[in-house]
Amino acid sequence: MNQYIGKAMPRYDAQGQVSGKVRYVDDIKVPGMKCVKVLRSPVHKGVIRGLDFSKAMAVPGVVGFVTAQDIPGKNAYGRFQDMPVLAPDNRVRYRGEPIAAVVAVDQDTALEALSLVEMDIEEQTPVFDMFEAMKPGAPLVRHDSKSNLWVHYPPDITEVTMVKGQVDQGMAQADQVIEGRYSTGVQDHVPMESNVSVAYRDEMGRLVIHTVSQTIYAHLGMLCAILAMPMSQIRYIGGQVGGAFGGKNDIHTDHIAALAVLKFGYPVKYRLTREEDLQFTTKRGAFVLDFKTGVKKDGRLTACRIDIWHDTGAYAGMSPYGLEKCAMFAPGPYDFPHIKVTARTIFTNRPISSSMRGFSVINGQVASEIHMNRVAEALGMDPWELRFVNAWRDGDHGVTGYKVRGAGALEAMKKAAELAGIKLPEKLMSMSSRGRQAS
């Protein structure tokens, strides 16, 4: 073991990468392989009144269509099991929602077939803004729900609340209270490799799926539920991923490729073009965060009140889980005696939000750090000093009561100052994360 510690080792697959030998999923070719493409909703919200495949089926080279009726198991997947594989009840809730899949000899034929599907769709009024979506009487993204708020704790609790101490008492002790609203936008992961699956039956009759999943065992379980197959009948082969960054934490192509194999028996490839990948895969969702911070004249923080709104789009993805992470860490690595955080996940008719690098924690951090600068400005205090005075020391407690161990913000800031050539006052340099009394 010791021969590896402290040494830079070459990547285990670097030799293959630099010689062009590594096989990614899109590099796999199976004899007789057909192409899968998906018919998607052209509207942000609507009810499908009629769907006629007859003209599309007449195109030479078209094998057939897969619809929700062809799903042997559950037409739902995801961490919260709320994303349909193919529109289950003739309703679509975001532009690009999958409705049916075509299987054809090649991509040109598949695209021609999709252009000939006759779809009668009744467009309904969508809602795109979280605050509009929360108003009484707003159009419902999910027609069978009571409101556009995700129920975090059944039967009806839609708010995540985290409390430490008495926030009102903390605000009353403050010399100044500083407020601010911050918002972060939607982002795509854009890995170099777009989502793709190759699927076929092997000689034992087992279903083989070559996947770009970054969450392979969770996805295998979801596929078993969708396909109503035991794990022993699915060979789920992954590991060679051309970048993911959280975007391949949700299934985008495996389920539909697998359904095509089950229905028609041919090997298939289902690959998203760059345009499809950008438009239709999960995103980092938008956040709005309100901060209200109480502070003493000497810079000691007394209280923090945070309100968070998170836009998850038309389905939950992993957003409710990400929201809890955001709420837990939004106060930042600072010691507040009193904190209250309230957070909600809201449905809109936008693309589905789910995980992306840092997993919603950083959306809170962006707001928290900008707000800390504002607090420093209001006090007329150096922003470094405000952070040094309040940074977590060992033994401090976070909002959910967790105890901080191995705190390192002060040491990181000292090192950053050194590398940036900034000379910090001795008062700050003498502080340590090992305890507050040292300062």
Partner 1 sequence: MTHILSFTLNGAPVQALVKTSDSLLDVLREKLDVTSPKRGCDSGDCGACTVMLEGKAVRACLTCALTVEGKQVVTVEGLSHNGKLQPLQEAFVSHGGSQCGFCTSGMLVSATALLAKNPHPQRHEIAQEMSGNLCRCGCYEEITQAILDTARKGD
The answer to whether the CB of 109 falls within 8 A of the CB of 56 is no
By beta-carbon proximity to partner 1, the closer residue of 111 and 438 is: 111
Residues 192-231 that bind partner 1 (CB under 8 A): 192-194
Quote the DSSP letter at residue 233: G
Write a three-state SS string for 4-52: CCCCCCCCCCHHHHHCCCCCCHHHCCCCCCEEEEEEECCCCCEEEEEEE
Site for partner 1 in 156-195 (CB under 8 A): 189-194
Please identify, among the stretches 25-33, 65-73, 174-182, 321-329, the one whose residues bind partner 1 according to the rule CB under 8 A.
25-33
113: nearest Cα among 68, 60, 70:
60
Beta-sheet pairing, 118-123 with 196-201? unpaired
Per CB under 8 A, does 357 bind partner 1? no
Q: Please state, in angstroms and rounded to a whole number, the distance separating the CA atoms of residues 77 and 251.
A: 8
Element holding 92 (H helix, E strand): strand 91-92
Residue 338 to residue 331: CA distance in whole angstroms: 11
Q: Least distance (Å) from partner 1 to the CB of residue 210?
A: 14
Q: What is the DSSP letter of 403?
A: B
- In the complex, least distance from residue 45 CB atom to partner 1, rounded to whole angstroms: 30
Segment near partner 1 (CB under 8 A), from 20-28, 128-136, 148-156, 198-206?
A: 20-28
CB of 286 to partner 1, least distance (A): 21
- Nearest partner of 346 among 127, 46, 186, 175, judged by Cα: 127
Chain-centroid distance, C-alpha 19? 34
β-pairing verdict for 268-271 and 34-40: parallel
Q: Where are the beta strands (DSSP E) in 138-258?
A: 160-164, 176-184, 196-201, 207-210, 234-237
Range in contact with partner 1 (rule: CB under 8 A) among 159-167, 237-245, 368-376, 400-408: 237-245
Minimum CB distance to partner 1, residue 75 (Å): 31
Q: Is 20 in the site for partner 1 (CB under 8 A)?
A: yes
Choose among 109, 106, 116, 114: nearest CA to 266: 106
Query: Minimal CA–CA distance to 117: which of 102, 98, 97?
Result: 102
Which of 139, 243, 299, 383 touches partner 1 by CB under 8 A? 243
Given the rule CB under 8 A, which of 64-72, 135-143, 236-244, 288-296 is the region that contacts partner 1? 236-244
Instruction: Pick the closer one to partner 1 by CB: 12 or 153.
Output: 12
Q: Which CB, 31 or 154, lies closer to partner 1? A: 31
Task: Please give the size of the binding site for partner 1, defined by CB under 8 A.
Answer: 30
Binding status of residue 23 toward partner 1 by CB under 8 A: yes
Per-residue x/- mask for partner 1, residues 244 to 263, rule CB under 8 A?
xx------------------
Whether the CB-CB separation of 272 and 256 falls below 8 Å is answered with no
The pattern of x and - marking residues 264 through 303 that bind partner 1 according to CB under 8 A reads ---------xx-----------------------------
* Sequence-distant (≥ 6) Cβ neighbours of residue 156 within 8 angstroms: 146
Strand partners, 268: 34, 199
Least distance CB 319 / partner 1 (angstroms): 23
**Both ends of the chain: CA-CA distance in Å?**
41
20 vs 155, which CB is nearer to partner 1?
20
Quote the least distance from Cβ 355 to partner 1, whole Å.
16
The one among 7, 11, 405, 423 contacting partner 1 by CB under 8 A = 11
Question: Which part of the chain contacts partner 1 (CB under 8 A), choosing from 16-24, 41-49, 136-144, 250-258?
Answer: 16-24
Closest separation in Å from C-beta 134 to partner 1: 35
Min dist CB 240 to partner 1, Å, is: 8
Amino acid at 399: V
- Pairwise CA distance, residues 313 & 317, whole Å: 9
Closest CB 197 distance from partner 1, rounded Å: 15
33 or 171, CB closer to partner 1? 33
Catalog residues that contact partner 1 under the rule CB under 8 A.
8, 10-11, 13-20, 22-24, 26-27, 29, 189-194, 241-245, 273-274
